[in-house]
A and B are shown apart, each in its own frame.
Chain A
Amino acid sequence: MSFGPHLLLATLEGLVTAAVLALTALGLSLVFGVMRVVNVAHGEFFMLGAVLAWFFSTLVTGSPAVGFLLALVLSPLVVGLVALVCERAVLRRLNYDPEATIVATIGMLYIIQQLALTFYGPEARPVQAPFNLRIALPWFGYSGYKLAVIVASIGLILATWLVLTRTRIGLVMRATQFDRETAQNFGIPVDKVYAAVFALGAMLAAVAAVLIVPIQQAHYLMGLDPLLLSFIVVIIGGLGSLRGTVVAAVLIGLSDGIISVFFSPTLAKMIATLLVALVLVFRPQGLFGQAAR
């Protein structure tokens, strides 16, 4: 293959990465934005989503589409429930103290990871794609499912955006994010908003994971990479800014896809991580965010 098609392939792969990353990072960004809490266990909610997707898809026999749809509905619900329990049992008792919640979510990370290893095992297991369609491009055939992932992700992000900007629930969330105490004075049940946002953030990660398992197999250690990449995206995009998060996800996903096709993936990760750390040092509000109030 010559350079042009190669670049096209890299771009497509990058877009798939970006689509999944945007959803995952959106969850992290939402939790940080509204609750001012860094959820280190976010990657494990992603992993849990993938592992549960495998579990649910094995429950039904017959068409892979049925199993996949079942996973797409049930897996995020279960992950949301787990997150809700974590929030009520631990984070709320810590009063959302930033450093204590970091330590506690590290604890959750280990617990979820170990439980996945114990009950799911160390193997990587695939989930069948709901449909098998190859789209023939002039230079190579490309998986139709991957394109569907991109479309689905765009749809979900738009839905999240609509909920946040056009509905009462979204208004309540934004009010809590803007000023917790004033929101409380206006009768907003901040406590319940926190619980809902934490669960929603985990569910977004779980949906992203269900979308990716037909491409990348479910494995109990798969949570670390999305966690670090989501951190990177959320930082570059400006903590708590939805638009910035999506732009940054596309940027990071594309460059990750393109750099790893042409250079060593380890080197790509090294450079990206270093650059992001420097962004955080010299421009803490992110490339697209506004300075903190």
Chain B
Amino acid sequence: MAGRATTRALLLHLAVLAALVLLYWILPDYHRGVLARVLVLAVFAAGYNIVFGYAGQLSLGHAMFFAAGIYGAGLPVYHLDWGVGAAFATGVGAGALLALVVGMLALRTTGVAFMIVTMMFSQVFYLTTLYFTQWTRGEEGLVLPQAARRLALPGLEIDLSDPASRYFVAVALFSVVLMASFAIVRAPFGRVLVAIRENEERVRMLGYDVFSNKLAAMVISGAFCAAAGAAYAVLFGYIGSTFAAIQYSILPLLWVLLGGAGTVLGPLLGTVFMFYVVDITSGYTSAYLLIVGVALIVLVLFFPKGVLGTIRERWLKWLP
């Protein structure tokens, strides 16, 4: 029975990925560009979902992991003329390492204190990017030259500033992260995370090492978020302090809450939905923060489980 549910869920996820590939030929130019960006941000949300949705730790500092990816990849490209592949790996490594250090400190606290500590570490990271303005150009940011944004693979070279390759690189990255999330959730490790979310004391009593499991979740989450940041830097060619600001810690929370915390496809759904809501309403009003604020309050008051969380509760029990 469990096997059938897994097969069904696997098929659903593969279908979503296939649909994303096919959409390239269906969507008009503008929406292809939007979707490429949304997919990268959905990777960010998926990373946040591991810690918030599955392990149940409300972090308000994930902007630092996203920004670690952005700077970890962007600065070597800009200042040291590194290749895109090496820079991407550095970005992901920087994010994972930062998550390890921050996790080791912040996970000593829980609940409200965890939220404040992560927010403060993230704020320190943000101020650091401003302080070293000589290299980062602070709020103004750096634009990576188009010539540097080429992915050299054996036998072919991909120009990442080209819309088509940008789209497929974003889809590829998202596919990897989506399937990795799926595997994590299905694995014993994922079950332990959910158990920690539901009742930490009981998990400890059963003999699991709660701290190490949470730390592992934090590092994986940091690596995913940094991968999103690194991809953002090389695909869209802009790195700046704004990505480290507190807003970028709150946005993934909003996306995940909207799509459904603790669901594998929720982050994608939430990101797509929120991005288009802001995109469409910005045609009428510049007050997009108002929409973000109202969305947060409405969600937390009336739909605390988000879209997919509610669907899972009502109809599709097998949804991971």
Contact = CB atoms under 8 A, between A and B. Distances in A.
A90 B301 contact: yes
Contact of A111 (B109, B127, B294, B299): B294
Contact of B289 (A93, A113, A277): A113
Contact of A93 (B115, B296, B301): B301
A110 B301 contact: no
Contacts of A269: 127
Nearest to B61: A277
A118 B115 contact: no
Interface residues of A, number: 41
Contact of A38 (B112, B130, B300): B112
A93 B301 CA distance: 7
A113 to B, nearest CB: 6
A146 B246 CA distance: 31
A45 to B, nearest CB: 14
A73 interface: no
A103 B253 contact: yes
Dominant SS at the A interface?
helix
B300 A107 contact: yes
A281 B127 contact: no
B36 to A, nearest CB: 26
A277 B300 contact: no
Contact of A94 (B131, B289, B301): B301
A107 B304 contact: no
A34 interface: no
Given A280-B109, A281-B106, A110 B120 contact: no
Given A93-B301, A277-B117, A277-B120, A106 B296 contact: yes
Contact of A107 (B60, B115, B131, B294): B294
Nearest to B57: A99
Given A108-B293, A111-B293, A280-B109, A264 B116 contact: no
A93 B296 CA distance: 14
Contact of A284 (B58, B113, B130): B113
Contact of B111 (A99, A112, A276): A99
B290 A110 contact: yes
Given A38-B116, A110-B289, A281-B105, 17 more contacts: A38-B112, A102-B112, A103-B300, A107-B297, A108-B293, A111-B297, A113-B289, A114-B290, A235-B116, A264-B131, A270-B128, A270-B131, A273-B123, A274-B121, A280-B109, A280-B120, A284-B113
20 contacts: A38-B115, A94-B300, A99-B58, A102-B58, A102-B112, A104-B300, A111-B289, A111-B290, A114-B288, A117-B287, A224-B246, A231-B116, A270-B124, A277-B105, A277-B106, A277-B117, A281-B105, A281-B108, A281-B109, A284-B109
